Amino acid sequence: MNAILRVHCADRTGIIAGLSDFVFRHGGNIIDLDQHTDPDGGRFFMRLVWSMERFAHDADGVRLALDVYARSFGLTWELSFDDRRDRVAVFCSKEPHCLYDLLLRQRLGEMAGDVVLVVSNHEDARLAADYFGVPFVVTPVDKDDKMKAETRQQDLLQEYKVDVVVLARYMQILSPQFVERWRGRVINIHHSFLPAFAGARPYHQAKARGVKLIGATAHYATEDLDEGPIIEQDVVRVTHRDEVEDLVRKGRDLERQVLARAVRLHLQRRVLVDGRRTIIFG
């Protein structure tokens, strides 16, 4: 089992030395250490991974020790262990391409988590969930009473002990209450290179503007539509010869890849949210 520690704080000397010495003195073996200092904001970020095989403390002991370091260095920290896999719920609507991709990657052993539930406001994706043996639940969304669907969804997330929600082309806007409750744990894929073409029909917007690149963006969902901290992005070239259908087809390839990379980064604890942006540890 490995421990994964992510910290951020005001930059000062001695943080890396102190935490590295803590691991060394208690019998740990550092497997990975990545850090970043933002000179403009004076902020420090670090991801530290070490083996717990011969470590002197158990999980509770590590947390108690980190509390001491947090007071000394002014750290904000998150600790996790890779012996426990996150439980993932995927929300989708009528387009199943991102769902299929995530389920296939899980089947191939490429994800550091497990999709335990698929939720949709339509029946279209049931075949995909059934094929991969994942429970599928339809929560119809009434435009006059959206909270009814969200209440059912929240119950399902609790029932299946879900850790993270992935919006794989789920074409409904979540309420501020939902995203606040799951802040930092809802990953959305948007079919444009944000901040360009936020909102609906981005490929139609791209065609109308005659852009030469289209993109896809995976970000954490917030109460502000398509403005959450960005985790991953990518682009592909297009030309004036491409119709909207061509943009959609090319965009689907990007959406699958970008969403999968973002989910992988999150599950591997390689993302730190810093206000409206993220720090990504490679």
Dihedral angle, C-alpha 122, 218, 225, 38, nearest 10 °: 160
**Does the domain spanning 2-81 belong to CATH 3.20.20.10?**
no
User: Domain segments of the chain: what residues?
Assistant: 2-81, 86-280
Out of 101, 163, 226, 242, which one is annotated catalytic? 226
Query: Is 74 a residue whose pLDDT tops 70?
Result: yes
Is 226 labeled as catalytic in the residue annotation? yes
Fold annotation for 86-280? Rossmann fold (3.40.50)
Enumerate the H helices of the chain as residue ranges: 15-25, 59-73, 97-107, 126-131, 146-159, 176-181, 202-209, 244-267
Question: 4-13, 75-84, 151-160, 206-215: which has the minimum mean pLDDT?
Answer: 206-215
- pLDDT score for 196: 67
pLDDT tens digits, 8-48: 999 888 889 988 988 888 888 999 999 999 888 889 999 99
| pTM recorded for the entire structure | 0.90
Closest C-alpha among 84, 62, 78 to residue 1: 84
- pLDDT score for 183: 93
Confidence class for position 262, pLDDT limits 50, 70, 90: very high
Percent of the chain scored above 90 by pLDDT? 59
Q: Within 10 Å of residue 224's Cβ, how many Cβ atoms? A: 11
Q: What length does the chain have?
A: 282
